[in-house]
Amino acid sequence: MAVEASNTAMVVGSTGLVGRHVVEQLTAQHLPVIALTRRRVADFPDGVEQLLVDFDALMGGAEIPACQHLYVCLGTTIRRAGSRAAFRKVDLDYTVAVAERARASGATMLTLVSSVGANAGSANFYLRTKGEVEDALLGLGFAAVNIFRPGLLTGAREQRRMLEGIAQHLAKVVEPIFVGGLSRYRSVAADKLAAAMVEPEHHLQGTRYWHFADLPG
């Protein structure tokens, strides 16, 4: 196994709603950042190393550079992917392939954006897939694993999702009654989630799960 790259963070899903904030906040901490992307991005912060990748090649065993901490913010929707099979390929197969290659290159820490309700035994296809992703990553031998399970994510996306926009408006009305155990289902701003993900105090060894109620202020 390759020697880990000390302090280097790698972000997959770096152009998405959460991933872009993660990249920005890591660079604000003056950490070296590698962003895995399918295409060149013009407006990343200065100093971000962009690595254009073929995710199918990664599934075939292609190597990636060494890093210490892998941030997985990769995800899509069934509608955007075009089918359940295509959705699983992105959310499960690509995610696991990246994590396997990062671990083989020496990464010891992993932080994942999952979903509230993720459960490999769920009858819901989306939540079942998210649970399967979690279980697969836990078996890869990372010393520190932080799994964030947000509810609805709020913020400006590159590609507008009409149903999410409607849900965000409804959330403002109904979320005040989400107390106690229901508080984990509240929506969370993408930048707030990213801030919690990059917080050094949240990178202790072992496996930890984070919900809305666990996030700071």
Q: Structurally, how many domains does the chain consist of?
A: 1
Domain annotation covers residue 217: no
pLDDT in tens, 80-113: 889 999 999 999 999 999 999 999 999 999 999 9
Domain annotation covers residue 201: yes
pLDDT in tens, 164-209: 444 444 445 444 444 445 555 677 889 999 999 999 887 889 999 9
pLDDT of residue 36 exceeding 90, the answer is yes
Domain annotation covers residue 196: yes
Catalytic residue among 71, 130, 185, 192: 130
What is the span of the domain harbouring residue 144?
A: 9-212
Please indicate whether residue 192 is annotated as part of the active site: no
pLDDT at 167: 44
Domain annotation covers residue 161: yes
Helix, strand, or coil (residue 49): strand
The Cα–Cα gap between 81 and 116 comes to 21
pTM of the predicted model as reported, rounded to 2 decimal places: 0.87
Domain annotation covers residue 177: yes
Helix segments in the chain, DSSP class H: 17-28, 55-59, 78-81, 84-88, 95-104, 125-138, 162-174, 190-198
Please indicate whether residue 71 is annotated as part of the active site: no
Domain annotation covers residue 3: no
Q: What is the CATH number of the domain that holds 125?
A: 3.40.50.720
